[in-house]
A and B are shown apart, each in its own frame.
Chain A
Amino acid sequence: MSFPWANEYKPGNGLTQWLDEKLPLPRFVYNAVGAGYPVPRNLNYMWNFGVLAGFCLVLQIVTGVVLAMHYAANAGVAFDSVEHIMRDVNWGWMMRYAHANGASAFFVVVYLHIFRGFFYSSYKAPREMIWLLGVTIFLLMMATAFMGYVLPWGQMSFWGAKVITGLFGAIPLVGEPIQIWLLGGFAPDNAALNRFFSLHFLLPFVIAGVIILHIWALHIPGSSNPTGVEVKTESDTVPFHPYYTAKDGFGLGIFLLIYCAILFFAPNALGHPDNYIPANPLSTPAHIVPEWYFYPFYAILRAFTYDFFFIPAKLMGVLAMFGSILVWFFLPWLDTSPVRSGHYRPLFRKFFWFGLIPTMAVLFYCGGAPAAEPYVMISQVASIYYFAHFLIILPLVSSIEKPEPLPFSITEGVLGKDESAVLNAHPAAA
Chain B
Amino acid sequence: MRVRGGSRQGISMADEASIDTLGVTGEGVRRRDFINIAAVSFAGVGGAAVILPLVSQMAPSADVLAQSSTEIDISAIQTGQAIKAVFRKQPVFIRNLKPEEIASADQVDATSLRDPQTLEERTKVGKTNWLITMGVCTHLGCVPLGAGEGEVKGEFGGYFCPCHGSHYDTAGRIRKGPAPKNLEVPEYSFISDTVVKIG
Contacts and interface: CB of A to CB of B under 8 A. Distances in A.
B178 interface: yes
B90 A302 contact: no
Given A182-B58, A284-B163, A371-B164, A162 B142 contact: yes
A185 B66 CA distance: 11
A30 to B, nearest CB: 38
Interface string A280-294: 011110111000000
A51 interface: no
A154 to B, nearest CB: 16
Contacts of A372: 165
Interface in B98-130: none
Contacts of A312: 180
A271 interface: no
B140 A162 contact: yes
B8 interface: no
Given A185-B64, A191-B61, A313-B178, A284 B142 contact: yes
A165 to B, nearest CB: 8
Given A181-B58, A314-B180, A189 B143 contact: no
User: Which of B139, B177, B178: most chain A CB closer than 10 A?
Assistant: B178
A184 B90 contact: no
Interface string A182-221: 1011110101000100000000000000000000000000
B177 to A, nearest CB: 8
A10 B135 CA distance: 71
A190 to B, nearest CB: 9
B167 to A, nearest CB: 13
B142 A184 contact: no
A286 B179 CA distance: 17
A180 B141 CA distance: 12
B88 A371 contact: no
A305 B177 CA distance: 7
Interface in B37-95: 55, 58-61, 64, 84, 86, 88-91
Given A180-B60, A288-B163, A371-B164, A187 B143 contact: no
Contacts of A327: none
Interface residues of A, number: 31
Nearest to A162: B141
A163 interface: yes
Contacts of B180: 312-314
B162 interface: yes
Nearest to A371: B164
Given A184-B64, A187-B90, A281-B90, A166 B141 contact: yes
A282 B142 CA distance: 9
Contact of A191 (B60, B141, B179): B60
Nearest to B92: A282
A167 interface: yes
A250 B114 CA distance: 60
A159 interface: yes
A108 to B, nearest CB: 27
A312 B163 CA distance: 18
B139 A314 contact: yes
B60 A163 contact: no
A128 B163 CA distance: 40
A314 B88 contact: no
A137 B155 CA distance: 45
Contact of B59 (A162, A184, A305): A184
B162 A286 contact: yes
A184 B141 contact: no
Contacts of B88: 185-187
Interface string B141-185: 111000000000000000001111100000000000111100000
Contact of B89 (A187, A305, A313, A371): A187
Contact of A371 (B135, B143, B165): B165
B60 A186 contact: yes
A166 B161 CA distance: 15
A281 B164 contact: no
B56 to A, nearest CB: 9
- The interface centre, meaning the residue of B162, B164, B180 with most chain A CB atoms within 10 A of its CB, is B164
Contact of B58 (A195, A313, A314): A195
A173 to B, nearest CB: 14
Contacts of A166: 139-141
A167 B91 contact: no
B165 A184 contact: no
Interface string A55-83: 00000000000000000000000000000
A420 to B, nearest CB: 60
Contacts of A195: 58
Contacts of B61: 184, 191
Nearest to A318: B140
Contacts of B91: 281-282
A281 B141 CA distance: 11
Nearest to A306: B178
6 contacts: A169-B141, A180-B60, A184-B60, A186-B64, A282-B84, A287-B162
Given A281-B90, A282-B143, 8 more contacts: A166-B139, A180-B60, A191-B64, A281-B86, A281-B91, A282-B84, A282-B86, A282-B135
Closest 10 CB pairs of A and B: A166-B140, A284-B142, A186-B88, A166-B141, A163-B140, A371-B164, A284-B143, A162-B141, A185-B64, A282-B91
